[in-house]
Amino acid sequence: MNIFRLAGDMTHLASVLVLLLKIHTIKSCAGVSLKTQELYAIVFVTRYLDIFTDFISLYNTVMKLIFLSSSFSIVWYMRSHKIVRRSYDKDQDTFRHWFLILPCLLLACLINEKFSFNEVMWTFSLYLEAVAILPQLVLLQRTRNIDNLTGQYVFLLGAYRSLYIVNWIYRYFTEPHYVHWIPWLAGIIQTLLYADFFYYYFESWKNNRKLQLPA
């Protein structure tokens, strides 16, 4: 554990809390992509298959439980909560997210560090997480006007991945033989997908105006 990894974890946690705050207190999921949330639920399930078999640390287990429970809570709110689900704009959230799953799974079967079930699922979760934000970004482009909490949620998600890249760079120079090409490449691709959003986010912050993405 180093300061960059911890900052990345806390930023990731903050993004989830911001989204849950929006949904639970405002009783609205406007501007939030259910497709992205479903993909994240799959990411966490396949990544944390070892949660009850391999104990690393209390911190590690608690974080896994938080991300699993929060992810399924968000999906439940958007699908089943009698008030929240009314604000979900399914007519705009039309990205065919299921078509992302099979290519990521096939890629994980072909390119992995070890061909075992848990390892392939872990690799699959990395590939899927890299592209899981796409439905959310497409939805934001379609709706144009983005409320503050949704904008902060997406920004924190991108910041979390950026901090993880800094963590990997730090570990590469401080730990001998620390080379993991698969998470590095997946993380870089994921961060690049946020580049356009980051630009408009900082522009709106600098000019003190409402965040808007070009159509």
Torsion of Cα atoms, 110 then 113 then 114 then 115, to 10°: -10
How much is the pLDDT for 194? 93
User: CA dist 179 to 111, 166, 168, Å?
Assistant: 15, 14, 9
- Which segments in the chain show pLDDT lower than 50? none
Instruction: Tell which phi-psi region holds residue 88, choosing left (phi > 0), alpha (psi between -120 and 50) or beta.
Output: beta
Question: Is the torsion defined by CA of 184, 164, 39, 121 positive or negative?
Answer: positive
How much is the pLDDT for 87? 94
Which residues have CB under 8 Å from 179's CB, separation 6+?
Answer: 172
How much is the pLDDT for 204? 86
How much is the pLDDT for 145? 66
Which amino acid type is present at position 136?
Q
Per residue in 58-111, pLDDT (tens digit) is: 999 999 999 999 999 999 999 999 999 999 999 999 999 999 999 999 999 999
How much is the pLDDT for 54? 86
212: β partners: 145
- Cβ–Cβ under 8 Å, residues 43 and 132: yes
